[in-house]
Amino acid sequence: RAFAAGLRPLLQARRLSALLLQFPFTFRDGADARERLRRLRDAFREFPLVVEVRHRSWAEADATAFLRAEEFSVANLDYPTSSDSFREPQAATGEPGYLRLHGRNAAEWFTRGAGRDARYDYLYDYDELDEIADRIGALSTRFRELVVVTNNHYRGQALANLAELAARAGGGERALPATLIGTYPRLAAVARPAGPQAAAGMRDAGLPGTTGSRRTTGAGRGGRGGQGSSRGSGEQRDLFDG
């Protein structure tokens, strides 16, 4: 209850699109799993909930019907997969739409004992970004709002790829940390080094198919880069509007 109360001001101010409930591959459809999801839905009834599942059992018609009835949106994923992975290209059970890009580092993803940084150490190339942009366009026709999150966070790759995706939507040049551009020189084609007025240069980063204005965020901690996100809404917003 305290956690929900702390989030409520963000929801009321329309600064929170959804809460993400992320589960591992071992979380499979079944009576116990469904009961756990029902309890979470009851605890956060007022919030839009996105559930990230990774086992293919959740793609079965009965499981999809359950998630839709309980008003869960299912996260669409870009990540290394196996034959038993959840691999729906356009999952649509509720609002908002959600696409999460984890990278495609299959060698580390399936390595037992690989650390978090190793699994998410991946920079999407140009062809892959074009493919993802097409997927975003297709998904955006199925939702009123689509949230896109880049989670290939190691060494700021999430922010780098998010800027490149935004540029594909005609978002124009934006300001990025000079150290990030120095690490990934190809960003010079879509960005300029951030200066004292960097806030103005990072406004309105957009992705294809979303409506209204967009907000793009990304953050770094220490030697790691944070995940980035872009959302479309019917209201004018940007990263620095308080």
Chain segment 61-88, per-residue pLDDT in tens? 999 999 999 999 999 999 999 999 999 9
Backbone angles phi, psi at 96, to 5 degrees: -80, 165
Q: How far is CA 235 from CA 10, 72, 167, in A?
A: 15, 23, 21
Chain segment 129-150, per-residue pLDDT in tens? 999 999 999 999 999 999 999 9
pLDDT in single tens digits along all 242 residues of the chain:
889 999 999 999 999 999 999 999 999 999 999 999 999 999 999 999 999 999 999 999 999 999 999 999 999 999 999 999 999 999 999 999 999 999 999 999 999 889 999 999 999 999 999 999 999 999 999 999 999 999 999 999 999 999 999 999 877 788 999 999 999 999 999 999 986 544 443 344 333 332 222 333 333 323 344 566 655 433 323 322 22
Q: Which fold has domain 2-232?
A: TIM Barrel (3.20.20)
Could you say which DSSP state residue 85 is in?
A: B
Sorted by where each begins, the domain ranges of the chain are: 2-232
| One-letter identity of residue 160 | A
First to last CA, the chain: 26
Q: Please state whether 103 falls in left (phi above 0), alpha (psi between -120 and 50) or beta.
A: left
- By the 8 A CB rule, do 52 and 18 touch? no
Percentage of the residues of the chain whose pLDDT score is greater than 70: 80
Reported pTM: 0.80
